[in-house]
Structure 1
Amino acid sequence: MTPSAGVDRQENDDVAVSEHEHCDACGFDGATYDDAALLAALRSLGSEWRLLLESAGPELRVRPAPEVWSAIEYAEHTRDIVALHVYGVKEALTGNEPVLPAVDPGLADAAAVAYGDADAGVVAEEIDTQSSRLAVLAEDAGPATWSRGITLGDVRADVRRMLEHALHDACHHLDDVERGLVTLRA
């Protein structure tokens, strides 16, 4: 995220730069989650993804448009994003406001080259494992520590914001997959 004076939107997307994560595109609003609800929502991601991937049927690996990922590609991306947030939260909770280099914008694209061939059940289990791990890390540390953070490049994110972003990204892509499946089945 690149917040700057007078700017309240990220470049190239609809996520508001504010205390809580908010997305105009999918309607996500981190402010609507109290601490317990946020952790519960993170814990539910594995089962939500499992159900959606199981329902994808023959469309699991089919892209609804050339530039739009398939259900399994979105699931693999979600697994990786949640795992990155596990790392970020762990660093924020165990470090002293660590400062790390900015994430290379091409990293996600490079990872995506390998997406598409994974077993859907394994990916759903990995999403469940990572999202549960994220919730446990945050719960064990307690909400009083959630103001601790890390800085990536010149952008600081606290634990609460990282939890919200992991949930938002996963939910946003659940919506993407549902829309894609509707398109493919039309």
Structure 2
Amino acid sequence: MDQCEECGFGYPGVGAADVPLRLRGFAQRYAGALAAAADVRRRPEPDVWSPLEYTCHFRDVLRWQRDRIELALRADAPEFVPMGRDELVITAAYNRQDPAAVVDGLAAAADLLATAFAALGPAELARVGRYPWPEPVERTLLWLGRHTVHEGEHHLMDIARG
């Protein structure tokens, strides 16, 4: 995947040096998106997440991606297991979490992931792991960084249109 058909995000437009900067910028943007929402817990449709659920999801994406980097640095061509995104909305009770704590957790996770990406050189960024979405395929760590930036941008769009 190099381009998102739905939001227009272009993966090649995000360089390795951009990834940490873009990741660190998300906390403030998600805080603003939640502040602008009329009701952070309201789902616009039964099968569309609330602004708080999208924010919790992205916080957890940041955490999972950091774990995946660590795994890819330890193992050759690891298999990245799916995070169970739809299950986590329910089992982690996303819509009952405190929005301020969620934004704080997102900021901390974004900073940790940004720091991890900033420490990677070209050889590490070229390491691969088998990524489960949209279908299992080998992806580089640079792609993983770009994809994480895409996730952040895409879900901000989801919140805004909800």
Q: Deviations over 1:44-77 (max 9, x none)?
A: 1111111111222x41111112221110011111
Deviation at 1:93, TM superposition (A): 2.1
Match of 2:124 in 1: 145
Deviation at 1:144, TM superposition (A): 3.6
Match of 1:109 in 2: 86
Deviation at 1:96, TM superposition (A): 2.6
| C-alpha separation in 2, matches of 1:30 and 1:42 | 14
Match of 1:87 in 2: 67
Write the letter of the residue equivalent to 2:51: A
| C-alpha separation in 2, matches of 1:22 and 1:83 | 24
| C-alpha separation in 2, matches of 1:128 and 1:177 | 18
Larger Rg: 1
Corresponding residue to 2:144 among 162, 166, 172: 162
Deviation at 1:164, TM superposition (A): 1.0
**TM (normalized to structure 2)?**
0.88
Q: Assess if the C-alpha contact under 8 Å between 1:93 and 1:141 holds in 2.
A: no
Q: Which runs of 4+ in 1 moved over 6 A?
A: none
Structure 1 residue 34 and structure 2 residue 34: aligned? Answer: no
**TM (normalized to structure 1)?**
0.77
Q: Provide the aligned length of Structure 1 versus Structure 2.
A: 157
Say which SS state the counterpart of residue 141 (structure 1) adopts: coil
Q: Assess if the C-alpha contact under 8 Å between 1:38 and 1:164 holds in 2.
A: yes
- Which ranges of structure 2 fall in alignment gaps of 5 or more residues? none
In the TM superposition, what are the counterparts of 1:46-65 in structure 2 within 5 Å?
46-56=27-37, 58-65=38-45
- Which ranges of structure 1 fall in alignment gaps of 5 or more residues? 1-16, 181-186
Write the letter of the residue equivalent to 2:154: H
| C-alpha separation in 2, matches of 1:141 and 1:127 | 21
Q: Deviations over 1:16-45 (max 9, x none)?
A: x3xxx3201001111112222222111111
Q: Assess if the C-alpha contact under 8 Å between 2:41 and 2:52 holds in 1.
A: yes
Deviation at 1:152, TM superposition (A): 4.6
Write the letter of the residue equivalent to 2:153: C
Structure 1 residue 125 and structure 2 residue 125: aligned? Answer: no
Say which SS state the counterpart of residue 126 (structure 2) adopts: coil
| C-alpha separation in 2, matches of 1:27 and 1:143 | 27
In the TM superposition, what are the counterparts of 1:175-186 in structure 2 within 5 Å?
175-180=157-162
Q: Assess if the C-alpha contact under 8 Å between 2:19 and 2:117 holds in 1.
A: no
In the TM superposition, what are the counterparts of 1:13-28 in structure 2 within 5 Å?
17=1, 21-28=2-9
